[in-house]
Amino acid sequence: MQIFADEPVFNRINTIARITAERLQQFRAMHQVGDARQIGTIGAIELRADDPGYLSAMRPKLYNFFLERGVLLRPLGNVVYVLPPYVISPEELNRAYDVIQEATETLF
């Protein structure tokens, strides 16, 4: 509780939610994306797949792509979830979305 009293946590949350909304709007325009949705600070990008679902063949390709670029994201099949910690900087969050965009454009 002290952290919430001493630090601008709600400002950070609002910034994360705003950046997520802006970035997901960009993903919605991509033909590789079937859906991009958000609840609060959590974003989800569902990629179009011939084998959608948890066991999609996209998962290992995405996972390895992200790791090679130093971004720790764990896709669930053909869906990439972004659940950022409240201490993430806007630059770090945008970097994560940049890497997801790069993967979407180059892998599929």
Which CATH number fits the domain that encloses residue 82? 3.90.1150.10
Q: Is the pLDDT score of 96 beyond 90?
A: yes
Domain ranges, residue 23: 2-107
Query: What does the pLDDT read at residue 108?
Result: 85
**What's the predicted TM-score (pTM) here?**
0.94
Sign for the pseudo-dihedral over CA of 29, 35, 41, 42: negative
Domains in the chain, number: 1
SS3 92: helix
User: What's the pLDDT tens digit per position in 38-90?
Assistant: 999 999 999 999 999 999 999 999 999 999 999 999 999 999 999 999 999 99
For residue 8, what are the contacts with CB-CB under 8 A and spacing of at least 6?
none
